[in-house]
Amino acid sequence: MGKADQRKIVKKAAPKPVAKAPIVARVESRPNDVHKNGAVKPRPKSGARQANIVLPEGYQPSENEPFMNERHRAYFRNKLLAWKEEIVRQNRETLHVLHEDSAQHADLADRATSETDRALELRARDRQRKLVAKIDAALARIEEGTYGYCEDTGEPIGLKRLDARPIATLSLEAQERHERREKVFRED
């Protein structure tokens, strides 16, 4: 068999490309979000209204106000955005310092200390990167109108808990149940 014949065989043996099935996104909706023709109505973004809210200086959410009203949402949005900006600023500073601190150390102990410090700093920044993702998720929940409500029970999380941990997704009781379950499974 000649080289030309082998090329023909190889060309014939090559599989034909198979068309991939289109990826269909699953859209969850509430019953009143569906038109009669089956199309899903877009939900209005609550964030458009919140941009115009100006909070008084020193404003703290109060239990006397309706839960997660526009002022509450604006307060927590501002708090989350400020937290995120601080983390991003610290990350930039760390990157700048790490870039600047590439000096060679003559002593092995100094070099090891420097590398250990660097590893710890990078680990802390990685944690903060994950925290930024949680902050972004909380901001998205504010836009969707689900912020401040427990993912397990649907009940309000509580203003004090949200003020202490603005990225909380579970009420105090649901978080305690979750931690007890984790502890039981960890001990097994």
- What DSSP designation does 2 have? -
**Reported confidence tier of residue 97, pLDDT bands at 50, 70, 90:** confident
Which pLDDT score is estimated for 127? 92
Task: Dump pLDDT digits (tens) for 83-95.
Answer: 999 999 998 888 8
Distance of alpha carbon 35 from the chain centroid: 31
Which pLDDT score is estimated for 122? 86
Task: Dump pLDDT digits (tens) for 115-124.
Answer: 888 888 889 8
Give the CATH number of domain 63-147.
1.20.120.910
Task: Dump pLDDT digits (tens) for 23-81.
Answer: 333 333 333 443 333 433 334 444 444 456 888 888 899 899 999 999 999 999 999 99
**Reported confidence tier of residue 3, pLDDT bands at 50, 70, 90:** low
Domain ranges of the chain: 63-147, 150-188
- What DSSP designation does 152 have? T
CA dist 186 → 159, 170, 176, 179 (Å): 31, 20, 15, 10
Task: Dump pLDDT digits (tens) for 107-159.
Answer: 888 788 888 888 888 898 889 999 999 999 999 999 999 999 999 999 999 99
Which pLDDT score is estimated for 81? 97
**Residue 47: what residue type?**
G
Instruction: Tell me which residue of 164, 149, 156 sits closest to 63, measured CA to CA.
Output: 156
Which pLDDT score is estimated for 25? 34
